[in-house]
Amino acid sequence: MKSPTSRSELRENLYRFVLSLLLAAAVLVATLVRLHNIRHKWLSRRTAVRRPENPPREPSAEEQRIMEDISRLIVEHKEYLHPELTLGSLSVRTGINTTYLSRAVNRTTGLGFSRWVNELRVAEAVSRLSDPERTCNFSQIAYEVGFNDRTTFWRAFKQITGSSPREFCKKKCCDS
């Protein structure tokens, strides 16, 4: 390797070196800012305060009749225990348009259809977890009450009851 002989060559090489360091630093800062923004966006989505459910509007007589019909089918016959229960499948089964079904649930309960069904499922899970003869097998109970996977069950349980299924079982064991 040839060593620079003149001062101007040394200065020029030092200038190039400093410029390359500044460019690398700028790229690093831009990457860090982008990663920070991505992380912030991801965290804000996960921890965002969810808007409260709409308060129930006064349902019409037709919406009350529809809600009575679907309540009889879903609650009395425990159809909510079937994981395949969706607004679409209920619409096909009852012959009622999905928009009317959704509106009837929203206006009579103040909840969306999925949230209403999840509340029924979580109530059933609480009942099963409260049974002193039963062990706390969360996966088994999740599937028994209609959830397709343990994660969805866990999230819905915590959102509705304010505690995780494990915390609920620990409290149950300590209270008895």
Do 39 and 66 lie in one domain? The reply is no
How far apart (Å, rounded) are the C-alpha atoms in residues 134 and 112?
31
Secondary-structure breakdown of the chain: helix, strand, coil percentages, each rounded to the nearest 5: 70, 0, 30
* Residue 71: domain span: 61-175
Give pTM, 2 decimals.
0.66
Please give the structure tokens belonging to residue 152: 């969805």
Q: Mean pLDDT lowest for which of 37-46, 48-57, 98-107?
A: 48-57
Do 68 and 138 lie in one domain? The reply is yes
Please give the structure tokens belonging to residue 26: 């700028």
Residue 172 to residues 114, 123, 132, Cα–Cα distance (Å):
27, 15, 9
Do 44 and 73 lie in one domain? The reply is no
pLDDT digits (tens, 9 = 90+) for 51-99: 555 554 688 999 999 999 999 989 888 999 999 999 999 999 999 999 9
CATH number of the domain at 167, please: 1.10.10.60
Please give the structure tokens belonging to residue 112: 């969306």
Number of folded domains in the chain?
2
- Region 165-170: mean pLDDT is 88
Do 90 and 154 lie in one domain? The reply is yes
Residue 53 located in a structural domain? no
Residue 3 located in a structural domain? no
Do 127 and 162 lie in one domain? The reply is yes
What pLDDT is attached to residue 120? 94
Do 131 and 109 lie in one domain? The reply is yes
Neighbouring CB atoms inside 10 A of 38's CB total: 10
Please give the structure tokens belonging to residue 119: 């509340």
Do 24 and 102 lie in one domain? The reply is no
List the one residue out of 89, 62, 61 whose CA is nearest residue 74: 89
What pLDDT is attached to residue 103? 92
Given a cut of 60, is residue 48 above it in pLDDT?
no
